[in-house]
Chain A
Amino acid sequence: MWEDWKSLIAEMRKGSVRGLARLITRVENRESGWMDAMQMIYPMTGNACVIGITGSPGAGKSTLTDRLARELFDRGFKIGIIAVDPSSPFSGGALLGDRLRMKEVSTLDDVFIRSMATHGALGGLNLSARDVVKIMDAFGKDIILIETVGVGQDEVEVVKAADMVLVVCVPGMGDGIQAIKAGIMEIADIFVVNKADQGEADQAVADISAMLELSSDETSSQIPVLKTIAATGEGVPDLVTIMLKLQKTGRIRSSWHEERIKEEILSLLEKEVAYILRSRWGQNGNLDQAVKQVTARKKDPYSIVQEMLALMQLQ
């Protein structure tokens, strides 16, 4: 098993797209040995700039991602794209349609696009998105674009995975109060008002700028608010220039770096502990027994949890 992983990693490092793709699948499926594989990959990472693209459904994230990738590709960067779409909560299946909108880059050899389903993860990303970023980084991509699922107001997971976040808005989505709500509006390094050919685009820019000026954080008022028309590519070169400038000045989330690592360790640990608990508890019958006790009202869920914590010596 481990030999498989090692040869796959070697293949990927040699530049094999097939190797890269297979590695991603196996890590995404959490196949046995995946964490050892990630340990081996980790030292090869740290070179890529990761850019998150988020916004409401239909804002034009995929089309904008396509145009951004093309512009960056034309400027000589090697691009990786992770495009996340939702899994069905009912069937567990998914229809991943982002690639359909990426006609500019979906056929270029130096652009690697991977569509991923959320698999029930909340927050707009997939559980393994951060791992996939690292694999693409190790493969040699310079810039990795992560396009989240269409988000509402507080799905801000992307901020933990990206060095820079673009929040894509469209005109006519609400007034100034909508713009000062917490959550997604707080995570932007750049605001993009897409579909700027539609009326009220200037109003949207004004609302966002006004919100930024109200912020107690003085640097907020420097956050760029740009207009694009992704369908035609208008405004995209300027956006890319500003992105690259922001990346160089290094302002972007450098203070977040330690916070992000801390968060990553905790969330990995959480997932693993939860998995171990679920599988052991599920297998040894203790969980069923606990359920029966609660059903019969002999015990309550809280005392079961406390007993369990005591057993694990966590309390």
Chain B
Amino acid sequence: MNKEKKIRVLVAKPGLDGHERGARVIAYGLRDLGFEVIYTGLRQTPEEIVHAAVQEDVDVVGLSILSGAHLTLTRKVIEKLSEQNANNILVILGGVIPDKDIPELKKMGVSGVFTSGTFIKDVGTFIRSNLS
């Protein structure tokens, strides 16, 4: 069929913080930009996130972290993804992320970090240009 392939994005919140608003805003925003968003909600372990990402065969995993544990949690998610041979999945990150941590996150394989103030359409553009 000639219909354009939909880009599938998993939006998940690893760890224990309960602030879901940002993740929801992103999920709705990406839907409105034509993405298929699988939303798995709060308090997911890295194992659960990767399990869902593999089953759903997503192109992108978007993590929202406001707890300060972004380095540990993101590293675990990326490790588990490569264990599953799924490191072609783009990992992006949003939330409260100090600028000083961004280089380290990029080094471990995060493609993009989007902190507060980001326009959702920029996230969409970023995903599209990084997947093609």
Q: Which residues of A are at the interface with B, using a C-beta cutoff of 8 A?
A: 17-18, 21-22, 24-25, 29-30, 87-88, 90-97, 99-100, 106-107, 112-115, 117, 119, 275, 279
Contact = CB atoms under 8 A, between A and B. Distances in A.
A215 B33 CA distance: 47
B57 A99 contact: no
Contact of B2 (A21, A106, A114, A279): A279
A119 B34 CA distance: 11
A95 B31 contact: yes
Closest 3 pairs (CB-CB, A-B) = A30-B1, A21-B57, A93-B31
Interface of B: 1-3, 5-6, 8, 27-28, 30-41, 47-48, 51-52, 54-57, 84-86
A100 B39 contact: yes
B56 A93 contact: no
A231 B41 CA distance: 17
Given A18-B84, A279-B2, A99 B34 contact: no
B31 A88 contact: yes
Nearest to A22: B57
Contact of B37 (A24, A95, A114): A95
B6 A106 contact: no
A119 B1 CA distance: 12
A303 to B, nearest CB: 27
Given A21-B54, A99-B52, A93 B3 contact: no
Contacts of B5: 29
A107 B30 contact: no
A113 B30 CA distance: 22
Is chain B's interface secondary structure helix, strand, loop, or mixed overall? Answer: mixed
> Which among A21, A93, A96, A100 has the greatest number of chain B C-beta atoms within 10 A?
A93
B3 A119 contact: yes
Contact of A93 (B2, B37, B51): B37
A115 B55 CA distance: 9
A91 B33 contact: yes
9 contacts: A91-B32, A93-B37, A94-B6, A95-B39, A96-B36, A106-B40, A107-B47, A275-B1, A275-B2
A114 B56 contact: yes
Contacts of B32: 88, 90-91, 93
Contacts of B47: 107
Contacts of A87: 36
A204 B51 CA distance: 39
Contacts of B31: 88, 91, 93-95
B55 A112 contact: yes
A94 B48 contact: no
Contact of B56 (A21, A95, A279): A21
Given A94-B31, A107-B47, A279-B2, 13 more contacts: A18-B85, A18-B86, A22-B57, A90-B32, A91-B33, A93-B31, A93-B36, A95-B27, A96-B38, A96-B39, A100-B39, A112-B55, A113-B55
> Which among B34, B38, B54 has the greatest number of chain A C-beta atoms within 10 A?
B38
Contacts of A18: 54, 57, 84-86
A91 B34 contact: yes
Contacts of B34: 91-93
A95 B48 contact: no
A21 B88 CA distance: 14
Given A18-B54, A95-B31, A107-B47, A100 B40 contact: yes
A245 B35 CA distance: 41
Contact of B52 (A88, A92, A106, A119): A106
